[in-house]
Amino acid sequence: MTLVTLKVKSVEKITSGKKDYSVIILEDPATKRVLKISAPSSAPKHVNDAMEGIVQERADIYSLVSSMMKAMDITIAHTTIERSPTNSKMYNAKICLTRPEDEGKTFYAILQGRPSDAIPMAILHSADIRAEESLLNEP
């Protein structure tokens, strides 16, 4: 499995019949190939706020969790997006946490989550967003 590091290219709000949703478009800067991630309709605000470093007066869940992590000296090392092993039309995200420990040891844990939640968290922690290369340019 080859991983590539992606950047957020844009977040688009989609209206389809009675349901609104968003698409987060991640791009490989080297090849310009993209990965589209379906997300709740609130995604544009959360992703854009994270990219601009905006912290709301009443913190959204991403800012709140990020603040808690920083208070515990925990950060996101990177986030990896991969195909779900149980549903070929769905993606999962692995959020890799790290924290310096005493005596030079490194704490390392992996959390599973939705890509639409993992992406704003990765942005808030200036962490790489990675994906399997085979997922790029998929519809």
DSSP 135: G
Extended strands (E) in the chain: 3-16, 19-27, 34-39, 75-83, 91-100, 106-113, 128-132
Count of structural domains within the chain: 1
**Residuewise pLDDT in 10s, the chain (139 residues):** 799 999 999 888 888 777 888 889 999 999 999 999 988 877 777 788 878 877 666 667 888 888 899 899 898 999 999 999 999 889 999 999 988 776 666 677 889 999 999 998 999 899 999 999 999 985 4
> H/E element holding 26?
strand 19-27
Question: What CATH code is carried by the domain that includes residue 29?
Answer: 3.10.690.10
What is the SS3 assignment for 126?
Answer: coil
List the Cα angle 94/95/96 in 5-degree steps.
110
Residue 38's domain comprises: 3-135
pTM beyond cutoff 0.75: yes
